[in-house]
Amino acid sequence: MSRNDSPRTTAVSIAPEVEVEAGSVALRLTGITKSFPGVKALADVSLEVRAGEVHALVGENGAGKSTLMAVASGALAQDEGAVEIGGRSLEEASPDEARHLGLAIVRQDPALLPDLTVAENMAIGSGETTMKGLSSAPAKAQAHLDPWQMGINAKARVSSLSVEQRFVVEIAKALSLKPRVLILDEPTEHLNSDEVQRLFRRVREVVSANAAVVYISHRIPEVKSISDRITVLRDGQVRGTFEAADVSESQIIELVVGRALDTVFPPKGSASGPIVGTDTLVVTSLSGSHFHDVSFAVKPGEMVGLAGVQGNGQENLIRAIAGVDSSSGKVTINGRGVRLGSSSSSAKAGVVYVPSDRHGEGLFMPMSVGENIVMKTLGKVSRASVISESETRRVAHQEIDRQSIKTPSQRTVVSSLSGGNQQKVVLARTLLSEPKVLLAEEPTQGVDAGARVDIYKILREAADEGAAVLILSSDGVELEGLCDRVLIMSRGEIVEELRGDAVTEEGIARAALTSTTVRQRSNSSHSTASRFKSWLKGDHSPAAVLAIIGVLLAALVGTVNTAYFSPFNISNLLVIASMLILVGAAQQVVVMGSGFDLTIGPLMSFLVVIASYYVIDGGSIALGIGLMLAASVLVGITNGYLVTRFNLSPVVVTLAIALGLQGTLFQIRSTPGGVFDYAVTQLVLYKIGGWVPISAIFAIIAVLVLEWALRRTRWGVELRAVGSRKDAAGRLGINTARVQMFSYLLTSILVVPAAIILMSQIGVGDGRPGLPFTLSSITVLVLSGAAIFGGRGSFIGIIIAGVLVGQLLGIPGFVGASGAWGYLLPGLITVAAAVLYAQLRKARKN
């Protein structure tokens, strides 16, 4: 069915209680202006998108398309102008509000949270983060994913998905909202032809229900195929809106670029005759993940393409040659062997790899344009290992001019540039390093027509300077225009080689499609091995490892000294473990939300000192506990406010507060004093059956409640979302400042019961015993297997780790060892656990 044959209705309910008429304005942007430091991204832009149409938005990288849609979706506040969705104003920049008004967006950079499951991501995207919504999320998500036939398990973590699977999740998430306005920002960059057609079918279903679709793409044939109208943006301004049927592809390109593109591809090296010379790159019987027994060679000045149906080993092969992925076989550069699986060895041999993921692997996003350009050639801008600022500026300016990189200055942070200019920065760095072998994976992915021409010239320049160039591209036209030869891969092998006049888009497509079946996606297996592998990927696998270590240690020490299993020792161990569990849980709460807290030990001591004036014979126990709670709340709010309000480092903030607490507590009570009420200490240390202290039961129950809340409540999902990827969480409408503020508050509150247990154990007001608990909380956190940068962790692991650390502190006394082993053993076990978890992480990736 063609685009214009799609069935239409005149009044379909897209959102609750909202009727949409065909042809009415679904999205209206009026006079939108937006500026960033050094650049005006949008200047008085107005756009109307009608219900029941696909409205394409085209323009070069940096033209303002994504910025305009960020304003429309509430992710970015405009400086001037107004946004209306379905006739209702978007009063403030709020993704939640835009979603409520009926707008959904699929971003060029998917707003997915890697440490959360696919189902949790889709639940957050749809706002269904209640307990009921989270419990039904896997089934709902799976129903939206199955039609894509890509083997995506809704219960899998997003971090375990391939790039194309992540984009499908983002698209499915948006479509699940049944939006009134759907924005698709470069949705097909990571999809193959079959998946593109599935997407187009879904787009036509959306517009058939009188929703509006804004389609942003650099692929002009797709734009012509799917859109009704086309609006061109250039330099932050609208250059016209046209009926798609009234403009040709070449006219669209000229409108986008602002000039005619006389020559898209530079002349090939083989245009003047065969390329001769000794082979620079020789690959012999190379095998690795998804490819095997691959052999070929590339001469200096030659550009060779890698093609085939996606998923047949091309990506794995080029990464193996670069030394990024492991492999077996032989790779030589100018006759010298390269150590496989070593990117540094490949780099020393003269291999430069340009990855397809420029954000994750190609660029240092927080650093400047100039720093990124000279990063591979620091020796050329340094004297005696000291970098010359003037030389760095000179080289950076030279490359910026040479490669026509659009940037306010060489000091501009590279993350602020458009995709095409970011890719030029990567290639400028590549040419500066004077590569012998250039490996380019999808070098023009997500790049506009004008920037593509510039990138083609850069690649040709590298070949003309003597580099052997290997290009992996899914664009047959690109391979035809650039390459002297094209190698076709199928099922991990090179099955055909095209040369000379045979290197055509049609010839490449025919060779790829007749040499392989349609790309197969591996479905989830329910075998025992698969279930075990799935368990390894979970947050609870470290807890099992710790439990085994703890049991083995107990058995070993118990054989040396049977008193280890006495009721007295077990109860003491559990008292110590209860404090470690609570402080470990406190640290995990804040770390889970991408924070850190060094105040835990000093706060614990400070609370003990406060209690020593009130929780005593003749004192006011209620007032003392109330003051402890008030002090912890004050510290938590202070920590959270300073970190979130001023965007300060949590380490700096909590270190300063910790030092202040430590100084204050010794000022209040310089020497131990104040005997705690005996009835209180007896109650806290009471043992059920003479073995199990109620403090341990309380700590375990409290932490199990946290584990349940982490998985089943909106608070837990949002906390993990912020820790997983704060910027994406913000774009999804999560109030990241509020989430982080509450994490600091809850962390401080969890210190209160730990302080009460400590005061009951030591019996007097002494600030010194609590101070080491900051390091103890970090030790417990690391042993539990939690991600130190947030997003992942298990409170069950905290329980096991707390008991294990308590064991380690007491073991020396039972085996007759020096007390110093009470410090050495936790350190040794922590290092061993870190090594083991590193191996588990490798297993998770495979």
Better pLDDT: 150 or 641: 641
Is residue 265 packed enough to be buried (19+ CB in 10 Å), middle (13-18) or exposed (0-12)? middle
pLDDT bin (cut points 50, 70, 90) of residue 8 is: very low
Task: State yes or no: pLDDT of 623 exceeds 70.
Answer: yes
Residue holding tokens 């214009």?
4
Residue 379: name the closest of 342, 411, 348 by CA.
348
The pLDDT score that the predictor gives to residue 265 is 85
SS3 of residue 817 by DSSP: coil
The pLDDT score that the predictor gives to residue 514 is 67
Q: What is the mean pLDDT of residues 245-252?
A: 88
Averaging pLDDT over each range in 227-231, 235-239, 306-310, 355-359, which range is the top one?
227-231
Which segments of 485-629 are extended strands (E)? 485-490, 493-499
> Which residues have a Cβ under 8 Å from the Cβ of 201 and sit 6 or more positions away?
none
Q: What is the mean pLDDT of residues 150-169?
A: 87
* Pairwise CA distance, residues 581 & 603, whole Å: 16
The pLDDT score that the predictor gives to residue 11 is 33
* Pairwise CA distance, residues 659 & 641, whole Å: 18
Count each helix (H run) and each strand (E run) in the chain, helices first: 30, 28
Span 559-612, pLDDT tens digits: 999 999 999 999 999 999 999 999 999 999 999 999 999 999 999 999 999 999
Task: State yes or no: pLDDT of 261 exceeds 60.
Answer: no
* Residue 455 tokens, joined: 């990138």
Q: What is the mean pLDDT of residues 391-406?
A: 88
Q: 40 has which bridge partners?
A: 35
Tell me if 416 sits within 8 A of 473, measured CB to CB.
no
* Pairwise CA distance, residues 726 & 390, whole Å: 36
* Pairwise CA distance, residues 93 & 83, whole Å: 10
Any idea which of 127-131, 146-150, 819-823, 841-845 has the lowest mean pLDDT? 841-845
Q: 305 has which bridge partners?
A: 471, 486
* Residue 740 tokens, joined: 């982080």
The pLDDT score that the predictor gives to residue 62 is 72
* Pairwise CA distance, residues 503 & 80, whole Å: 51
* Residue 792 tokens, joined: 């992942």
* Residue 269 tokens, joined: 């090296």
The pLDDT score that the predictor gives to residue 537 is 61
The helix (H) or strand (E) run that includes residue 437 is strand 437-441
Better pLDDT: 299 or 9: 299
Global pTM reads: 0.75
The DSSP-derived string for 681-706 is: HHHHT-EETTTEEHHHHHHHHHHHHH
All domains in the chain, ordered by first residue:
27-102+179-259 (3.40.50.300), 111-177 (no CATH), 270-514 (3.40.50.300), 539-845 (1.10.3470)
* Pairwise CA distance, residues 208 & 202, whole Å: 10
Task: State yes or no: pLDDT of 54 exceeds 70.
Answer: yes
Task: State yes or no: pLDDT of 526 exceeds 90.
Answer: no
Residue 470: name the closest of 331, 317, 282, 298 by CA.
298
Span 701-748, pLDDT tens digits: 999 999 999 999 999 999 999 999 998 898 888 899 999 999 999 999
Tell me if 58 sits within 8 A of 230, measured CB to CB.
yes
Mean pLDDT of all residues belonging to the chain: 87
Span 275-288, pLDDT tens digits: 888 999 999 999 99
Tell me if 669 sits within 8 A of 765, measured CB to CB.
yes
Percentage of the chain lying above the pLDDT 70 cut? 92
* Pairwise CA distance, residues 486 & 495, whole Å: 11
Q: State how far the alpha carbon of 365 is from the alpha carbons of 351, 408, 772, in Å.
A: 22, 16, 37
Q: 32 has which bridge partners?
A: 45
Better pLDDT: 512 or 317: 317
Residue 258: count of CB within 10 angstroms of its CB: 12
The pLDDT score that the predictor gives to residue 841 is 60
Span 539-566, pLDDT tens digits: 777 888 889 989 999 999 999 999 999 9
Better pLDDT: 114 or 11: 114
pLDDT bin (cut points 50, 70, 90) of residue 785 is: confident
Task: State yes or no: pLDDT of 796 exceeds 60.
Answer: yes
The pLDDT score that the predictor gives to residue 515 is 59
Residue 293: count of CB within 10 angstroms of its CB: 12
* Residue 804 tokens, joined: 């294990």
Task: State yes or no: pLDDT of 524 exceeds 60.
Answer: no
Task: State yes or no: pLDDT of 6 exceeds 90.
Answer: no
Residue type, 445: Q
* Residue 811 tokens, joined: 């073991």
Q: What is the mean pLDDT of residues 527-538?
A: 56
Q: 528 has which bridge partners?
A: none
* Residue 679 tokens, joined: 């009835």
Q: What is the mean pLDDT of residues 661-675?
A: 94
Better pLDDT: 221 or 53: 53
Any idea which of 132-136, 188-192, 324-328, 555-559 has the lowest mean pLDDT? 188-192
* Residue 251 tokens, joined: 């006219």
Per-residue exposure over 204-216, b if at least 16 CB sit within 10 Å of its own CB, e if not: bebbebbbbbbbb
The DSSP-derived string for 316-345 is: HHHHHHTTSS-EEEEEEETTEE--TT-HHH
pLDDT bin (cut points 50, 70, 90) of residue 90 is: very high
SS3 of residue 348 by DSSP: helix
Span 438-448, pLDDT tens digits: 999 988 887 77
The DSSP-derived string for 751-780 is: HHHHHHHHHHHH-EE-STTTTTHHHHHHHH
The pLDDT score that the predictor gives to residue 795 is 95
Span 751-767, pLDDT tens digits: 999 999 999 999 999 99
* Pairwise CA distance, residues 400 & 370, whole Å: 9
The pLDDT score that the predictor gives to residue 194 is 77
* Pairwise CA distance, residues 702 & 399, whole Å: 58
Per-residue exposure over 824-843, b if at least 16 CB sit within 10 Å of its own CB, e if not: ebbeebbeebeeebeeeeee
The pLDDT score that the predictor gives to residue 172 is 92
pLDDT bin (cut points 50, 70, 90) of residue 47 is: very high
Span 677-709, pLDDT tens digits: 999 999 999 999 888 999 999 999 999 999 999
The pLDDT score that the predictor gives to residue 772 is 94
Q: State how far the alpha carbon of 223 is from the alpha carbons of 189, 229, 474, in Å.
A: 13, 9, 18
Task: State yes or no: pLDDT of 485 exceeds 80.
Answer: yes
* Strands across the sheet containing 88-89: 39-50, 25-36, 80-85, 88-89
SS3 percent helix, strand, coil of the chain, rounded to 5, is: 50, 20, 30
